Amino acid sequence: MNMNKQNRRMTRWMAWCGALGAALWLAGCAVTDVGRAPQIARGETMAVLPIANYTETPQAGLRAEAIAESLLKTGGVTNLKRYPASLNPETLFEPAEREAVAKALEWARGEKVRYALTGAVQEWRYKVGVDGEPAVGISLQLIDVASGDVVWSATGSDSGWSRASLSGTAQKLLRRLLAPLTQG
């Protein structure tokens, strides 16, 4: 009987440790730091500017832009503009340049846009290995177009399970990062 009681204690202790380990592991999958967003009035004009691609994955910045634009629209940003495609030099073989953001910001000023979203993709890939989990890392900035000041920023990274898609992992991360801009 004493051995049976000891086995139950050991089983409970192992279950507790396993649950704690799983919680810590899951908490480590996503890392986000999101700043306090400015009060954005309904109907305020916002633009999505180029998101720089600092990865080895072609067109990761363009993919992040498309997801961010969709999430902002579905999150209630009704007056959203997208910069002209000719202002983004990212192609399949050439990385995006910083000056593309400056040119797009100038375009936004001409369009009387109040806020512009831009940023950078640091990671956009499937990890190498048996499971091949998707991994995404993105930084975002909201710029007051008139002054050029950064009024909000967020950064985060996330990885998915082995059968998760890269775009789905990016969408979940971007949704968390953009939440302060779409709530209200």
Query: Is 157 among the domain residues?
Result: yes
**181: confidence class by pLDDT, cuts 50, 70, 90:** very high
Name the average pLDDT for the chain. Answer: 84
CATH of the domain at 172: 3.40.50.10610
Domain that holds residue 170: 31-182
What's this model's pTM, rounded to 2 decimal places?
0.79
Query: Is 19 among the domain residues?
Result: no
16-38: pLDDT as tens digits: 555 544 443 444 467 888 888 98
Look up residue 55 and give its DSSP letter.
Answer: S
Query: Within 13 Å and on the Cβ side, how many CA atoms surround 72?
Result: 27
Query: Is 14 among the domain residues?
Result: no
Residue 180 and residue 120: Cα distance in Å, rounded? 18
Query: Within 13 Å and on the Cβ side, how many CA atoms surround 38?
Result: 18
98-154: pLDDT as tens digits: 778 889 999 999 999 999 999 999 999 988 776 789 999 999 999 999 999 999 999
Count the domains in the chain.
Answer: 1
